Structure 1
Amino acid sequence: MPSNTEGSALRGRRRERDTLDRLLRDVRAGHSRVLVLRGEAGAGKSALLDYLSEHASPGRVTRAAGVEPESEIAYSALQQLCAPLLGHLDGLPEPQRLALATAFGLSPGDPPEGLLIGLAVLGLLAEAAAEQPLVCIVDDVQWMDRMSEVILTFVARRLDEESIALVFASRSPGDEQILGSLPELRVDGLPAAEARALLDSVLPGPVDDRVRNRIVAETRGNPLALLELPRGLTPAELAFGFGGQAAAPLASRMEEGFRRRITALPANTRQLLLAAAVEPVGDVTLLWRALERLGVGPDAAAPAEAAGLVEFGARVRFRHPLVRSAAWRLAEAADLREVHRALAEATDPDHDPDRRAWHRAHAAVGPDEEVAAELERSAGRALARGGRSAAASFLERAVALTPDPKSRAARALGAARARLDAGELNQVPDLLAAAELGPLEPLQRAGVERLRAQVAFAFNPGNAAGPPLLAAARRLEELDRASARTTYLSAVGAAVHAGRLAGGDLRRAAEAARGVPAGDEPAGLFLTGLTAWTLDGYAHAVPYLRRALETMTADENLHLLWLAGPVAHEVWDDAAWFRLTERAVGFARATGALSLLPTALAFRSGALVFAGRFVDAASLVDEADALGQATGMAMHPSASLTLAAHRGRELPAMELIDATVKDADARGEGRLLGLAGYARAVLANGLGQYPAALHAARQATEYVDLAVFNWTLGELVEAAVRAGETEVAAEARERLAERTGAAGTDWALGVQSLADALTGASGRAEDRYREAIERLTGGQLGLQLARARLLYGEWLRRENRRADARTQLRAAHEAFATMGAEGFAERAGRELLATGETVRKRTLGEPVALTPQEAQIARLAVAGQTNPEIGAALFLSPRTVEWHLRKVFTKLGIGSRRELAAALRDR
């Protein structure tokens, strides 16, 4: 289709052209921009991308397109987009360079995590854009492979000041979930006058105005439909609504028009179009080699080009994706197999073994072990590049071609594992059913059961998840002790998460797990500790749980963070908590461990809340939310709930708490109910609403939730004392003492001292308050320390020791205000006023406040990290880091990194 501004393809597109022109101006000015063009088939999205490409000068353009036959090949679209830029690969840090080279099959290596590949692509684009503005265009996103979509969505969210435009085109309706929440431009039908003028240019003769108006209305101004639907139809057919097809979807009607035109072509030209449609990357040389094997010569291309269906240049390019689709769907099965066979023979087995295997698989008529084995090898290569979805696709096709039932079952089981690892859970049950059709070894059968349980847990980690995991663990016990142990741990962990909604699942899982030798590695110690916690009581469990935390010294143990985080709270080990969460975030960022990062961000954010670093905690929550939108991996809500409760903004906090309760009830996640109760109690205590805090804390402590129970007992003591419920407070204090005494850490004993001071005799209260403050001062528990000072100051005021009270209350008020704990700050402020002191409202912004991201970058720079190292830690390009640092320097009134540390100290 014509792509100049006066051509038919861009009639009536001034609004869209203006948007693209602004985008290019911004990119030339040094800013990055992202845009998704959405519209139905034939709306002119590709023509607008052509316009963007033609007007991008002096910038550089790189293009890619999703191709339906290639939608299962991992990174295929991403590799198209990045291939022209690989000359900048050496400019990336080594982990990123190796990850990208491995993902693209340029070099062997360990399977890279998707996050590291995303960071590498971001760096690659930034390196290229440092030379000249870069315009990256991706068409037909609806057919893009999943891994390319995930990576490009991640990159799109991280672009900032790199002079990069990333523009996508996706078909709608039906594909709105692709690249969700990125900026969009709707590409709708042409205005009526423009649509009529375009239609007049292709009508075969005079047509009644009413017929013309009907055509325009039925096509809704779709340019391609206006151009294509009238072709080959008589005026009589046009008068009756396109030969009676008006009820068909517009894309189907346009594809039918292309089918009619393809059918009218010579047989060898139709075969040429079919081969071009099946060959996914537009490789002209490869296509001609395949056509030679089919006996089709170069002269067959002329009729297709003359019909305006395809162009042959440096690459093969169809007039529209619907032409490719029409050519493909028109083919008989035998013709399609013959084309795949020719393409397989023409593909270099050393250069591109995976596409060759894919073509061979589709050329096969029946079972073929040789081809199935080749597909299995391709699956292995896909896994080595991190392409789990592609590996599963290769294995699924191998299953269909495998003649031996035993091998077929094993491959089906492997495909199911790959689908589970890829997060494509809906496809796992059918593959497991296929595996069960063949003879399975006992260990394989147990593996099927375990995978089915893991899928159930992933779909719903609530009270339905524990029983199938327990059944799988029991089956594995006599077959594979190591797998049984980890599955028992998963079963116990699922029951712990289900909490009060688990029924007797936790006890049953713990009793069954006790018979398995646990070992001295972290997983074994956690299992021993949790079984003791369930069956024998808190004091018996503490030594095992503490030892499990101590043995988590190797990075390969960080996958247990989901359990280690709550356990650290359960045994009041703040040192292990801060150590493990900091290391986990650093490890996940450095290695791109996408499976670990959401959990690491959640627990690190929670640690920062308890440290009183609310801004940093909120920054990690925002980062996790963005990661979740890009990958579908949601962060556990604990950090968001804890942060909202301590911030003390009642309405948004209650909305979040209520939403959590509703979701937890629906999914059977009882521990979240306890967490929501704790959050309510904290919020109400901060706001001075003590009866409400008492009610929430009593409900939350009706069940002993791991870690949450400890936190909530402290809130219950405080709320009960302030509400005048002394017996309730005393009982809660005793329950707390059973646990803090067994734990014995400064954190535990400091919390106990506060409870003793609140509930004990007045004559001993001051000593207990002082002991609490002393014990909590040594660690990183700034929030807990501020609350201890608040409680001590309130007691001093009630003892009429106003001067002493002001010292403690002033320190608490300043700490809470600095943190952003607004509820507790107001409570401390009211107490200060009662002592006779005037409380000055604290003004933030003197000097201008740094944003959370600027503050993170500044701290990392002070720590001596380079711009590339900071970028790797925060998933930013070095150029964006440099841009943020310049803003930090301006806000702080300094000129270089050398002055940064002192400026931050002054603030």
Structure 2
Amino acid sequence: MISAESPSPPLRPHGPVPEVDAHSSTACELSGLDDLSGLPVAEICGRSTERAVIDEVLARARAGDSGVVVVRGEAGIGKTALLEYAAAGAAADMRVLRGTGVESETKLPFSGLHLLLAPVLHLRNKLPGPQSEALGAAFGLVDQARSDRFLLGLATLSLLGEVAAAEPLLVLVDDTQWLDRCSAAVLSWVARRLRAEGVALLFAVRDGYPTPAEGVPDVRDLRLTALDRGSSAMLLGDLAGHVKDHLLAEAQGNPLALLELSAALTPEQRAGELPGATFHLHHGPMSGQLESAFAQRVRALPERTRSLLLAAAADDSGDLHLVLTAGRRLGADVADLEPAEDDRMVHICGDRLRFTHPLFRAAAYRSSSLQARLAAHAALAEAFGESGMADRSAWHRAAAVHGADESVAAEMERTAENARARGGHAAVATAYHRAAQLTSDLGKRARRLDAAAQAALDAGMTSFATHLADRAWPIARDPTVRAGLAMVRAAIAQEQDLRARPEETVEAAAGLAKQAPDTAATMLLFALISVWSGGEPYQMPQLAASTAIVPRSSPMLADVTAAIAHLADERWAQAVPHIRSLVHEISSTANLATWQRITVQWWFLWLADIHAAQEGAVVLADRCQAQGNIGLLPRALLHLARTQLLLGRHRDVLSTSEEGLRVAAHTEQPHFVGHHAGLLACVAAIEGDQARCAELTEDILADGVSERGIECVYARALLDLGHGQYEAVLRRLTRVPQALMRHHPAIDHSLGTATLVEAAVRQGHPTLAVAPLARLRRWAHATGQPWTVAIAARCQAQLADGEEAERHYEQAIRLHRQDDAYPFEAARTHLLYGEFLRRRRQRNRARPLLRSALDTFEQLGAAPWIDRVRAELRATGETSQPTERTSGLLDRLTSQELQVVRLAAAGLSNAGIAARLYLSPRTVGYHLYKAYPKLGISSRNDLARMDLGPDDPDSSGLS
């Protein structure tokens, strides 16, 4: 398994690889499958339940559906045999692709994926250009083409769909616990999005290890246990009774152990003519016994044969020519492979060599001495170097080094930069990490660890980034390196709900203030956000004091230090001009990094400039996708979803935050899981969906309220308010620390403060609303946006009486008419003002306000609020019952179907929609097939003439 602590180096699969004919290669791969376990597939014993599940998934694939199966169990329990059963069952009318994880190559980026897709890579030219380039870049077939994990995932999904378009497809991945991280991430992405491609995807994994299918909906999970005695006896065949009993006890129902132990018996032993002690294995866990048995068979081979097997085990290419080239440097030749072939350890087909069982590969590598392994990697490095595969040669050279070596470290650094252009951030992080391991100079090591940490963070590998940054921080002295590390550590703290460490960021920024003042200013802005939004206001005075001594060597530094000082004293009106100037200056910088743009983006919504926030968030989502900043994507989507909520685009919130939630969960960012779940819950609360709201918020709020759960709190309070449970609203919101209810004013005041004020007034506790309203008014008047001042005026009206209240309500209505932001809040204002007028017996004035509120609430599907308005209209003597809003055509579509039809109506092809939404073209076709009958249409031409709602598809974000 890959871990941050793994000391051994990875191998690099990058470099040109041959594109082979798919059918001939697959036929070669599948020939002799029955020999892999020593047992013909037709004779598989037991496992009737598991075989039925596999048969069902294969049948679904033949019918055009897709499915994922995970087979788990200890070594030798029969996982591979079940994969072979699936392959045999699919052989007649399905295409089969096979891949496997290799323990010695768990750090080689994309090695497992290449092994899986090599037979069909010739079809990549049928994919859209960016997807084709992504695959080519990952495998070294094209140069200087950037590919991120999502784009490569989409390319893989599209490639599998292309294969399945001709015939149903079975994809088998064995030993997934040894897959490299990059391949596992891509296959996980694919497994989550398989829908209607006609692909059956089967993973086999040892107990105790995760698989790429973790968390995939509807995955079929098969855990293999020991065979029963009857099935075990059938595998042993004709043996003397006491010998059979002895082997049954020894193997403990493990089928591979039964086969290996019985195959090792002499004729005399099989007949029971020798005592059982002569073939008794050592005691211990069965997997250990199996590995020992495989290792014994390897050690029984001639020395030169073992050298060749070690070279083959140390590299996954399966290229017989390269193995033999390396073998000659180890003193072996092609004839030395015969003993391994005769013992059915390896299978050779044309120019390909493969192990017949993963345990043979593991035994060949593990049973060798360290010196032998280093020699094998050195020989492979020379072989790949002669073949022009520089990056792959570098990885083997790094694996051949024990201790520090600056020349190899520099070579790995060059490999990392090549990987940046071709393989994305995960490969960069892995290569720089190995370069740092080979570096003795502390300054260079810190710089390489910093580069690795930043790449790991961009790739969403948060735990790995934490390990790298923590290793580098104590030895980093260069101001630029310390600045990069401080930013990584601060970002990780925010993502993992850890305590903000602004002192590190300030100290690093101070070191850069003279040589890079604008960068230092951006860092201080980041420190301010981490303190402000993290619920730690007590750090604000300390932050202001520490930044006061930073040299104001640029206008940007002057602005940010002044803003920090004003915010520390809660002088918001004085802080706003500095923040506005800073934000516009930084955002107009051409060479701004993506994480810096996201830092700046936070402030647009703090300034209540929703439309600027919306435009910037769309660009950020595009940029994160294009640059492979997967670690930053959930944050960009969070900015986008917040603006969509404030603009009343609830369907777009669902699309954006559902994707943000998936990506955040996939990249282990619980901070953004909480925020996205909270925004989804807010939509559910407005619609009155209690079950959905509770489902989204329960786990996040289980351990109390933290900053990541603040939207969840607001959602529950809003749900209570809609159902008239005012005491519950007060109980919920008054228990939230005030520090948390200021993390993002645009969200806090509109969802939190406004809800608290209304509940306090209706429950007869108006004093509870005084302080929160004062903060809302100060922020609203500081930003000066019509919608914020309107909400503040409405809240102030609720605390007033008579003409004063009416004056504030009239002001709020006028301001809402000036700004189309936040239609839900505008409708609440119309409702509350209508209620106020109805209570004063001004029914004629109340009705138009209430009807306006009703129209908006009906458009938003806000069921509790609709009921409330209708009750008010009846109280005004409304004689004509408002027309019941029938479900619109678009309401019949799922959020995914709506995205697809909007893009199709805009003229995008299925392939173009697939690229935009990270689906396969076949899945896009499936969504259109499902959507057309719901819309009562039959073609794209009909779709183009439809009104698909007010939301602009180009502003809905990439999901």
What's 2:64 paired with? 30
1:223 paired to 2:255: yes
Alignment of 1:501-540 (within 5 A): 502=536, 504-514=538-548, 515-517=550-552, 529-535=563-569, 537-540=571-574
Matching residue of 1:123: 158
Aligned 8 A contact 1:93 1:868 in 2 = yes
Question: What's the CA shift string for 1:195-241, capped at 9, x where partnerless?
Answer: 333442385x44256535524xx52x322121123454667999579
- 245, 255, 269: which one pairs with 2:305? 269
Aligned equivalents of 2:316, 2:278: Cα separation in 1: 35
Contact 1:98 1:109 in 2 (8 A): no
Question: Does residue 385 of structure 1 match 2:417?
Answer: no
CA separation in 2, counterparts of 1:56 and 1:145?
A: 28
Q: Which aligned pairs between 1:126-141 and structure 2 lie closer than 5 A?
A: 126-141=161-176
Q: Among residues 838, 857, 863, which one is paired with 2:900 in the alignment?
A: 857
In structure 2, the CA distance between the partners of 1:222 and 1:187, relative to structure 1 (3 Å rule), is farther
Amino acid at match of 2:919: L
- Provide closer, same or farther for how the CA distance between residues 250 and 463 of structure 1 changes in structure 2, counting only shifts above 3 A: same
The equivalent of 2:827 in structure 1 is: 786
1:13/1:705 Cα in 2 relative to 1: closer, same or farther (>3 Å)?
closer
TM alignment of 1:124-523, pairs within 5 A: 124-175=159-210, 179-181=214-216, 183-189=219-225, 191-201=227-237, 205-207=240-242, 210-215=245-250, 219=252, 221-232=253-264, 243=280, 245-246=282-283, 248-314=284-350, 315-349=352-386, 351-364=388-401, 367-402=404-439, 407-408=444-445, 410-426=447-463, 441-443=477-479, 446-447=482-483, 450=486, 453-454=489-490, 457=493, 460-477=496-513, 480-499=516-535, 502=536, 504-514=538-548, 515-517=550-552
What is the CA distance between 1:278 and its match in structure 2? 1.6
Please say if residues 139 and 169 of structure 1, whose CA atoms lie closer than 8 Å, have aligned partners that are also in contact: yes
Q: 1:803 and 1:728 mapped to 2: Cα distance?
A: 33
Could you tell me which residue of structure 2 aligns to residue 643 of structure 1? 683
Structure 2 residue 134 is the aligned partner of structure 1 residue 99: yes
Partner of 1:876: 919
Residue 81 (structure 1) shift? 2.5
Question: Separation in 1 of the partners of 2:633 and 2:396?
Answer: 37
Give the TM-score normalised by structure 1.
0.88
**Hey, what's the Cα distance between the residues in 1 that align with 2:553 and 2:807?**
44
Tell me which residue corresponds to 1:710: 749
Write the letter of the residue equivalent to 2:927: H
Which residue of 744, 765, 783 corresponds with 1:743? 783
* Aligned match of 2:909: 866
The SS at the match of 2:171 is strand
Q: CA RMSD in A?
A: 3.7
Post-superposition offset of 1:174: 3.2
Question: 1:906 and 1:473, CA in 2 relative to 1: closer, same or farther beyond 3 A?
Answer: closer
In structure 1, what is the equivalent of residue 18 of structure 2? none
Q: What is the CA–CA distance in structure 1 between the aligned matches of 2:223 and 2:757, rounded to whole Å?
A: 61
> In the TM superposition, what whole-angstrom CA distance separates every residue of 1:638-670 from its partner, at most 9, and x where no partner exists?
3432334434444654675564445566xxx4x
- What is the aligned partner in structure 1 of residue 861 from structure 2? 820
| Structure-2 residue corresponding to 1:85 | 120
Given that 1:862 and 1:900 are in contact with CA atoms closer than 8 Å, whether structure 2 keeps it comes out as yes
Kindly state the Cα deviation for residue 424 of structure 1 after the two structures are TM-superposed: 4.4
SS in 1 for 2:896: helix
Maintained 8 Å contact 1:198/1:223:
no
Q: Distance in 2 between matches of 1:831 and 1:742?
A: 35
2:618 to 582, 590, 598: 582
Distance 1:154 1:530, change over 3 A: farther
**Alpha carbons 1:9, 1:223 under 8 Å: kept:** no
AA of the residue aligned to 1:227? L
Where does residue 932 of structure 2 map in the other structure?
889
Distance 1:853 1:9 in 2: 45
1:749, 1:448 → 2: CA distance? 39
The secondary structure found in structure 2 opposite 1:130 is: helix
The 3-state SS of whatever aligns with 1:105 is: coil
Show structure 1 runs of 5+ residues with no match. Answer: none
Question: Shift of residue 336 of structure 1?
Answer: 2.0
- Amino acid of the residue matched to residue 176 of structure 2? V
Q: Post-superposition shift, 1:538?
A: 0.7
SS at the partner of 1:153? Answer: helix
Change (3 A) 1:155 1:176: closer
The answer to whether 1:11 aligns with 2:45 is yes
**1:518·1:527 contact (CA, 8 Å) conserved in 2?**
no
State the AA in 2 paired with 1:750. Answer: A
Amino acid at match of 1:78: L
CA contact 1:160–1:880 (8 Å) conserved in 2? yes
Whether contact under 8 Å (1:343, 1:356) holds in the other structure is: yes
Displacement of 1:750? 1.9
1:589-628 superposed Cα distances (whole Å, 9 cap, x missing partner): 4555423321232232233333333333223332223323
**Is 2:147 aligned against 1:112?**
yes
Where 1:135 maps in the other structure, the secondary structure is: strand
The two structures have a TM-score, normalised by structure 2, of 0.84
Distance 1:73 1:565, change over 3 A: same
Deviation of 1:42 after TM superposition, in Å, equals 1.6
Preserved CA contact (<8 Å) 2:610 2:646: no
Give the partner amino acid of 1:273.
L
Q: Is the 8 A contact 1:677 1:699 kept in 2?
A: no
Report the Cα distance in structure 2 between the residues aligned to 1:702 and 1:631, rounded to whole angstroms. Answer: 30
Counterpart CA distance in 1 for 2:568 and 2:210 is 48
State the 1:309 CA deviation.
1.8
Q: Tell me how far apart the structure 2 counterparts of residues 616 and 397 of structure 1 sit (CA, whole Å).
A: 42
SS in 2 for 1:542: helix
- What's the CA shift for 1:849? 1.2
Alignment deviations for residues 445-471 of structure 1 (CA, whole Å, 9 cap, x no partner): 735862773476267443353344344
- Letter aligned with residue 763 of structure 1: E
Name the CA shift for 1:599/1:370 in 2 (closer, same or farther; >3 Å): closer
Q: Distance in 1 between matches of 2:441 and 2:771?
A: 67
- Name the % identity: 34
CA distance in 1, matches of 2:829, 2:146: 49
Q: Describe the shift of the 1:748–1:437 C-alpha distance in structure 2 as closer, same or farther (beyond 3 A).
A: closer
Distance 1:124 1:422 in 2: 23
2:642 is the alignment partner of 1:610: no
CA–CA distance in structure 2, aligned partners of residues 611 and 394 of structure 1: 44
For residues 139 and 569 of structure 2, what CA distance do their matches in structure 1 show?
51
For 1:331 and 1:756, the matched residues in 2 are separated by: 79
Please tell me the residue identity of whatever aligns with 2:791: V
Distance 1:456 1:758, change over 3 A: closer
What residue is the counterpart of 2:13 in the other structure?
A: none
Per the alignment, in what secondary structure is the counterpart of residue 70 of structure 2? strand
Residues 565 and 295 of structure 1: CA distance in aligned 2, closer, same or farther (over 3 Å): closer
What SS does the aligned partner of 2:98 have?
Answer: strand
Q: CA shift at 1:290, angstroms?
A: 1.8
- Measure, in 2, the Cα distance between the counterparts of 1:525 and 1:866: 47
Distance 2:91 2:560 in 1: 58
Pick aligned residue for 1:619 from 651, 655, 658: 655
Go from structure 1 to structure 2 and tell me whether the alpha carbon gap of 1:755 and 1:397 turns closer, same or farther (over 3 Å shift): closer
| Matched pairs, number | 894
Which of 797, 801, 811 pairs up with 2:838? 797
SS at match of 1:637: helix
Q: Give the C-alpha shift of residue 421 in structure 1.
A: 4.5
The amino acid of 1:374's aligned partner reads E
Give me the whole-angstrom Cα distance separating, in 1, the residues matched to 2:709 and 2:629: 30
Per-residue CA deviations over 1:310-347 (Å, capped at 9, x if unaligned) read 22224222221111111111112222222222222222
